[in-house]
Amino acid sequence: MNNLVLAAIEKYNMISTGDRVVVALSGGADSVSLLDALCSLKEKYNLTIYAAHLNHNLRGEEAERDENFCKILCKNYEVELFIKSIDIHTLANEQKISEELCGRNERYKFFDELSVRLNAKIATAHSASDNAETLIYNIARGSSVRGLSAIPPKRGRIIRPLIEVSRAQIEEYCKQKGLAFVTDSTNLTDDYTRNRIRHSVMGTLRDINPQLEQSVSQLSESAREVTDYLNKQAQAALDKCKTQFGFSCKMLLQLDTAVLKHSLVLLCERTAKLTPEHRHIELMIKILNNGGAVNLSSKFIAVSKQGIFRIISVNDNEEFKPVSVSENFSINYNGKIYSITKQNSNKENKNSVSIDSIDKGAVFRTRKEGDKFTYPQRKVTKPLRKVLNEMKIPSEQRDNLLVLAIYNTILWCENIGVSEDGKNDSDKELNIKIESEV
Amino acid sequence: MNNLVLAAIEKYNMISTGDRVVVALSGGADSVSLLDALCSLKEKYNLTIYAAHLNHNLRGEEAERDENFCKILCKNYEVELFIKSIDIHTLANEQKISEELCGRNERYKFFDELSVRLNAKIATAHSASDNAETLIYNIARGSSVRGLSAIPPKRGRIIRPLIEVSRAQIEEYCKQKGLAFVTDSTNLTDDYTRNRIRHSVMGTLRDINPQLEQSVSQLSESAREVTDYLNKQAQAALDKCKTQFGFSCKMLLQLDTAVLKHSLVLLCERTAKLTPEHRHIELMIKILNNGGAVNLSSKFIAVSKQGIFRIISVNDNEEFKPVSVSENFSINYNGKIYSITKQNSNKENKNSVSIDSIDKGAVFRTRKEGDKFTYPQRKVTKPLRKVLNEMKIPSEQRDNLLVLAIYNTILWCENIGVSEDGKNDSDKELNIKIESEV
């Protein structure tokens, strides 16, 4: 087994010399083997190893037994053990979630705290068998190629050195090395479906291929590589298709189908913080061709209009409260950061506003009826509504634009720039910069 | 069901107006539904529909019953039925293969013959359930992302209009339309493993997601799109990395992992006509970095030497028999086509040889000890061995090169060109062109 662990550590670059690692220790065969395997690599990598055990207090005496077992185990390995005890049953009831989910949340919270406090990585004992079960489970629930990545070998500070070792190999390792372990109580709290996959489905598949876990690990690896590549290509495609107010439908439709779909997923995840369903993707491709809108959630819609595609937040009456302008401040609104800085004058910059506006009581706000804008060159004054029309700014975006105004007089408007009234006439100015939050 | 069939036909462009379609008809629920669904689309697409039934003679009276059932069915639909009767049991024994495999081979042979004779497409009744079972089966046996494409909706002249319809939906369709069918004898000949996947695994997964087949169809679709895209990118990468004698290791290693692996798969499939195993791919990447060789099969090895990667056939003593040169002939050797044509003289072409060589009795052969080559410009004569050395032609490729020679005198050598002795001095010449067979 140690060869497989070492191979995975090297392949996925899990450990560097001098690392500090916290082993997530339940006391079950998987985590005991993990602790043993990492301790045997202590010298090779000059590791400092800790262990962490969360007592879920779910099974009375069994929970006590597990905690005590971990204490003795760590003493034998001369590993510092951190224990936390939480009444998961009560907490889950309070939070109205399942005990399984609550337990997982609290475990990862505890590990994260320790990771920060000790400046250490967290090693969890997920095995190739866990990965295979997750992959089949994901397929059953409906997964894209991306979902086949299943359990990542490494994510942030979390590493999974057993990810290419099967449960049978772990059990064999315990037997060979005479390692004692307790029955992992998390197995018992696994839900009914998981257990049926573990016992009935996996058994049948292992009859077809005794090396099932290894084969599935290879599939997961291949899915991760393909996903990484598609992410890169989709990002490049989005950069290329970007226009001032969204993305060019024509250019998006010229992409290969795999890249187009992946780009739409990325866009939804970033803009609307949601993973679109298969039917949403199909519908988005439809509106790229024919125009229209798709409801992605109660808060976001995808819109295709005049050859431009964008994902916009539905205006749910959350109004922007006017704020007085001041030097060096920044505000957050609608996924964008507006920052104001004092700078030397630069007449070319259409987002530079006279510093006098502070004294004159200008405010940042969204547009309202009666707003008037004077073109800086032509010196013609028009209702802001007409100006936005002439600039072809999409109607659903107009209510989300910020303006800088004194009463009805617009000094500056987002996407349009400074007006005649806001123009700078000293050698200092306010510069308004707008950045996307993501 | 008909909506799903129509959607799949349109999505995958299965049928064009005026098509002739042969329905592969076993008499089971799937193929009876397929026949019924296609007949209902007869007018819409102006179709000519035929049916084909292979009597496997495997189950005595049951086989007769199925054949008769198909006859009556086709009479009702006014569809011409082609029947072939084969003793699969005896044939499988003769060919030493399973009855299942033999039956499949003979079915497709029969369908292919009809397809050519009638200039028709072949419609098979594979369903979304068959696709889901195949996908799970492929995962169990060890599959890359490509294997998740499972059963393609369209391949050559074969179309599968039921590929997005589940078996439950097909059964419901039969019930609603009062369609009679026989128990499909191919189900019964399915092997033990298939049946366990169909009944035990699929049942559990369908408990998790009643829309299992639809979800898996979407995964297959996504895998096909990703595979198409990777094929395209890998082909472009291979074109870019190609050098005179193979592929640049350095340039291959700069590719994204997913593209690199896919390129190696393409290369093996085309050059060695085999799909490399996961470990072969890993080893090939290793030798790209460090040099070396990988045995791909008993006939092919991958070699990385002096920064060049190539797949070469192991020289299994299959000698090239010398042939006399003549006008307008072509020969096949070692995956390449050598063609000789008479042309007007072009002194620039290093593969143009004096037309006199025909009369002088020149032959095409591989090199042998004692071969001598005279450089055309320098007029220095050297052993061919030394010339190949100077040209840095990899040693393992030298025995596969063809030369044009009179006794020991080389007139022309592949990759080097014409010698002083072969040079053209009339206004006609022989032009030797070498193309890759694939």
Residues A202-232: tens digit of each pLDDT: 888 998 889 999 999 999 999 999 999 999 9
**DSSP assignment string, B78-121:** T-EEEEEE--HHHHHHHHTS-HHHHHHHHHHHHHHHHHHHHT-E
pLDDT higher than threshold 90 for residue A325: no
CB contacts, 8 Å: B205 with chain A: 136, 139-140, 201
Interface residue ranges in chain A relative to chain B, Cβ cutoff 8 Å: 135-137, 139-145, 148, 193, 196-197, 200-201, 204-205, 207-209, 211-212, 214-216, 218-219, 222-223, 225-226, 228-230, 232, 256-259, 261, 278
Contact yes or no for A229 and B258 at CB 8 A: yes
Q: Which of A306-310, B45-49, B92-96 is most confident?
A: B45-49
Closest by Cβ to B225, choosing from A139, A225, A261: A261
Which of A313, A342, A371 marks a domain boundary?
A313
pLDDT of residue B185: 52
Closest by Cβ to A219, choosing from B143, B226, B229: B143
In this predicted model, what pLDDT tens digit does every residue of B267-279 receive, in sequence order? Answer: 999 888 888 988 8
Closest-approach residue (CA) in chain B for A225: B258
CB contacts, 8 Å: A204 with chain B: 196-197, 200-201
Closest by Cβ to B139, choosing from A216, A230, A232: A216
Contact yes or no for A204 and B226 at CB 8 A: no
Q: Are residues A305 and A335 in the same domain?
A: no
CB contacts, 8 Å: A216 with chain B: 139
Q: How far is A203 from chain B (nearest CA, A)?
A: 9
Which of B263, B293, B313 marks a domain boundary?
B313
Higher pLDDT, B437 or A37: A37
- A126 assigned to some structural domain: yes
Q: Are residues A102 and A187 in the same domain?
A: yes
pLDDT of residue A335: 64
Q: Which range of residues forms the domain containing residue B336?
A: 323-436
Q: Are residues A309 and A355 in the same domain?
A: no
- A330 assigned to some structural domain: yes
Contact yes or no for A144 and B200 at CB 8 A: no
Contact yes or no for B139 and A228 at CB 8 A: no
**Average pLDDT over every residue of B340-352:** 78
User: In 3D, which of B304, B313, B307, B350 has the Cα closest to residue B334?
Assistant: B313
Q: Are residues B16 and B76 in the same domain?
A: yes
Q: Are residues A194 and A56 in the same domain?
A: yes
- B38 assigned to some structural domain: yes
Closest by Cβ to B145, choosing from A139, A196, A223: A223
Contact yes or no for A225 and B148 at CB 8 A: no
Contact yes or no for A144 and B228 at CB 8 A: no
Domain tally for chain B?
A: 3
pLDDT higher than threshold 80 for residue A288: yes
Task: Give the strands of the sheet with A329-333, arranged side by side.
Answer: A329-333, A336-344, A428-436, A352-354
CATH (domain of B101):
3.40.50.620
Q: Are residues B152 and B12 in the same domain?
A: yes
- A112 assigned to some structural domain: yes
**A208, A209, A230, best to mutate vs chain B, most B CBs in 10 Å:** A208
pLDDT of residue B438: 41
User: In 3D, which of A123, A134, A110, A133 has the Cα closest to residue A12?
Assistant: A123
Q: Are residues B336 and B363 in the same domain?
A: yes
Higher pLDDT, A156 or B341: A156
pLDDT higher than threshold 80 for residue B4: yes
Q: Are residues A337 and A197 in the same domain?
A: no
Contact yes or no for B136 and A205 at CB 8 A: yes
Q: Are residues A305 and A328 in the same domain?
A: no
- A26 assigned to some structural domain: yes
Interface residue ranges in chain B relative to chain A, Cβ cutoff 8 Å: 135-137, 139-145, 148, 193, 196-197, 200-201, 204-205, 207-209, 211-212, 214-216, 218-219, 222-223, 225-226, 228-230, 232, 256-259, 261, 278
Report the C-alpha dihedral over residues A110, A115, A120, A123, rounded to 10 degrees. Answer: 40
How would you classify the pairing of strands A154-155 and A158-159?
A: antiparallel
pLDDT higher than threshold 70 for residue A55: yes
CA B69 to chain centre: 36
- Alpha carbon distance A224, A152 (integer Å): 8
Higher pLDDT, B327 or A224: A224
CB contacts, 8 Å: B140 with chain A: 205, 208-209, 212, 215
- A318 assigned to some structural domain: no
* Residue B150 backbone class (left: φ over 0; alpha: ψ -120 to 50; beta: rest): left
Comparing A119-133, A308-322, B118-132, the range with the smallest average pLDDT is A308-322
Q: How confident is the model at residue A98 (pLDDT cuts 50, 70, 90)?
A: confident
Which H helix or E strand runs over A170?
Answer: helix A167-177
User: In 3D, which of A103, A129, A138, A117 has the Cα closest to residue A50?
Assistant: A117
pLDDT higher than threshold 80 for residue A22: yes
**Average pLDDT over every residue of A320-349:** 76
**Average pLDDT over every residue of A107-136:** 93
pLDDT of residue A189: 46
Closest by Cβ to B144, choosing from A140, A214, A222: A222
Helix/strand number for chain B, H first, E second: 17, 22
* Residue A291 backbone class (left: φ over 0; alpha: ψ -120 to 50; beta: rest): left
- Per residue in A143-181, is it b (16+ CB within 10 Å) or e — as a string? bbbbbbbbbbbbeebbbbbbbbbbbebbeebbeeeebeb
- B57 assigned to some structural domain: yes
- A344 assigned to some structural domain: yes
Contact yes or no for A204 and B201 at CB 8 A: yes
Q: Are residues B289 and B408 in the same domain?
A: no
pLDDT of residue B319: 67
**A215, A227, A229, best to mutate vs chain B, most B CBs in 10 Å:** A229
pLDDT of residue B129: 92
Q: Are residues A167 and A45 in the same domain?
A: yes
In this predicted model, what pLDDT tens digit does every residue of B84-115 receive, in sequence order? Answer: 988 888 888 888 888 888 888 898 999 999 99
Which of A267, A286, A313 marks a domain boundary?
A313
Tokens 């028709």 label which residue? B120
pLDDT higher than threshold 60 for residue A327: yes
Contact yes or no for A142 and B208 at CB 8 A: no
CB contacts, 8 Å: B222 with chain A: 144-145, 258, 261
